[in-house]
Chain A
């Protein structure tokens, strides 16, 4: 209680200090919530592909060639492969914005028979799943519902074509949230329609595939199988679960470092205001400290008192920052919802981390002024020197 009263002696100064910390925590929460969303998306992606191999065209080769459905047949022949599903993945908008802070909205199509081989990871929130015979039907990702004005039975426009919404995916925090699933046939047709007419004449839409998902037989090491596929089928890149995880987490970690780095720097700057406030507080209360020591206060008692005060300032700044940060993230999400880009996710982990960090930083910032307080000479303090 005494700590709160002491802080309240100089309301404006305390409020400004809390505000300084709050801005730092606000940055930590907003940027951290962006990192949390990216992390979760990456984790969910890793989880989705934990027993699968992704095969795509080798774009680094001198003459990259598009994949064909027949490539899938070649993969099927490799020992340890249980099932191969062609995959179509293309941006939802014909003209991609070219810049997205999250995952870009996409159209995806997969062989629905893959369900039998463990593809049932994705759950339907409402409606039904696709079949290979469906045509002009779509399942919409959770975050795209608002953007596409989707509802069961309602038609949505995809690349100029009408698709009937037959389902909405349950929220997964993965790329599925920002994708529209169609049948393989429809997916192939969407890609085909966009090809230049000169190429169209030489390609059968049913032969188009942008990649494959390979399901290994039970007991087969998927990472080893990925290497074998890549070696066996020229012009392909095969990613096993471990390689995929390494690739994803490496990029996520880089983004995390940048995001958290910026936030921590701003919080550190905020903590300087605590040092300033506490130093002034010690200086103003020199006589009080002298009196306390004169009547028996131990060095540890004085040290604790001032460090606790700094921690409370840190905590209050943290609480204010978390609240404002959560509100800002939520507002930004609702603004971006219209575009299907919900970038921010305030998790309990982030809230606890932000509060703990602000308290720890507050405590550390309080150390120097607190030590200064313990070193005050009783005689000088009582004389007001």
Chain B
């Protein structure tokens, strides 16, 4: 095993549903305070002031997560509250303070029951969504608070994604589908075709370059999707139930392929509810109610 390639620090994601204006306002205040605190800390500000900020933030967090939004908001702003309908909304703690590290070359399974927060976690890791609080570091670089305009670059160059339902572009051939991330990452135009063919060869699809998705079986589609994920040689590949729509035999074939790629040094994080798939991984992390319940 090598160095930590992915690190999650106290990752939280909450969803507020319903008409809960005070909760939203309180959350906004917490986020503002966090930003100010971080700026001060980075500048090496007065430790007394920093401690005061820390205290305020901790108190606010505590009140917020105890669902005392009004008190939280009042204590942070010292202002009157515009009173909206109370207790008509719900805060869902999709992720509740997750800390974990994935090492270079690891193959990790994330398992958990439905609604445990697996897919939400994967959305944060794949930079499809932003965490409410906490940080994500990829190769030591903090990517969770990166500017939205720079996210596509990281998505195309550093991250590979394999979806449950393959999600190939139906109007494109296998080769064109694999070329797509190369276009997005601005790989040299002359090399794109060769790189895509190489990736398709690696997943055993060199004889199906010009087939469109509707001419391929489920297993073949997932192989093309894996080729699309590896073509830019990303730091890490995330698989979201990548065998969810495949039969037992094809699941085995796909997991053997993923294992082969992992042995060549590719890091994988696979979300699954299938224990058989998790068995292929070196480590299994179980998520329950948005928290890491245990690591196997």
Q: Mark A291-310, 1 if CB is under 8 A from B, else 0.
A: 11111111101000000000
Given known A291-B163, A296-B153, contact A379–B129 (CB-CB < 8 A)? yes
Once the chains bind, are B171 and A287 in contact (CB under 8 Å)?
A: no
Of A1-9, A58-66, A149-157, A160-168, the stretch lying at the interface with chain B is A1-9
Nearest Cβ on chain B to A198's Cβ, whole angstroms: 85
Q: Chain A contacts of B263 at CB under 8 A?
A: none
Q: Mark B147-191, 1 if CB is under 8 A from A, else 0.
A: 001001101110001010001011110001000110011000000
B240 nearest in chain A by CB position: A382
Once the chains bind, are B184 and A287 in contact (CB under 8 Å)?
A: no
Once the chains bind, are A379 and B169 in contact (CB under 8 Å)?
A: no
Once the chains bind, are B171 and A295 in contact (CB under 8 Å)?
A: no
A296 nearest in chain B by CB position: B156
A378 nearest in chain B by CB position: B128
B290 on interface, CB distance cutoff 8 Å: no
Q: Chain B contacts of A382 at CB under 8 A?
A: 128, 163, 167
Q: Mark A1-31, 1 if CB is under 8 A from B, else 0.
A: 0100110010000000000000000000000
Q: Chain A contacts of B152 at CB under 8 A?
A: 293, 296-299
Contact count band on A: 20 to 34
Once the chains bind, are A295 and B180 in contact (CB under 8 Å)?
A: yes
Once the chains bind, are B171 and A296 in contact (CB under 8 Å)?
A: no
Bound complex: CA of A151 vs CA of B194, how far in Å? 71
Once the chains bind, are A288 and B169 in contact (CB under 8 Å)?
A: yes
Given known A287-B167, A296-B152, contact A379–B185 (CB-CB < 8 A)? no
Nearest Cβ on chain B to A330's Cβ, whole angstroms: 38
Of B129, B163, B169, B185, the residue contacting A296 (CB under 8 A) is B185
Once the chains bind, are B156 and A295 in contact (CB under 8 Å)?
A: yes
Contact count band on B: 20 to 34
Q: Chain B contacts of A291 at CB under 8 A?
A: 163, 167, 169
Q: Chain A contacts of B167 at CB under 8 A?
A: 287-288, 291, 382
Q: Mark A360-385, 1 if CB is under 8 A from B, else 0.
A: 00000000000000000111001100
Once the chains bind, are B171 and A297 in contact (CB under 8 Å)?
A: no
Q: Chain B contacts of A9 at CB under 8 A?
A: 171
Q: Chain B contacts of A299 at CB under 8 A?
A: 149, 152
Nearest Cβ on chain B to A246's Cβ, whole angstroms: 55
Once the chains bind, are A5 and B171 in contact (CB under 8 Å)?
A: yes
Bound complex: CA of A318 vs CA of B71, how far in Å? 63
Q: Mark A38-70, 1 if CB is under 8 A from B, else 0.
A: 000000000000000000000000000000000
B99 on interface, CB distance cutoff 8 Å: no
Once the chains bind, are A296 and B181 in contact (CB under 8 Å)?
A: yes
Q: Chain B contacts of A378 at CB under 8 A?
A: 123, 128-129
Q: Chain B contacts of A379 at CB under 8 A?
A: 123, 128-129
Once the chains bind, are A292 and B180 in contact (CB under 8 Å)?
A: yes
Q: Chain B contacts of A6 at CB under 8 A?
A: 171
Bound complex: CA of A271 vs CA of B155, how far in Å? 36
Bound complex: CA of A292 vs CA of B172, how far in Å? 13
Q: Chain B contacts of A294 at CB under 8 A?
A: 126, 128, 155, 161, 163
Given known A378-B128, A379-B123, A382-B163, contact A297–B169 (CB-CB < 8 A)? no
Once the chains bind, are B155 and A295 in contact (CB under 8 Å)?
A: yes
Sample of 7 further A-B pairs with CB below 8 A, known A294-B155, A294-B161? A291-B169, A294-B128, A295-B228, A296-B152, A298-B184, A299-B149, A379-B123
Q: List 7 A-B contacts (CB under 8 A).
A: A2-B169, A6-B171, A294-B155, A295-B161, A295-B181, A296-B181, A382-B167
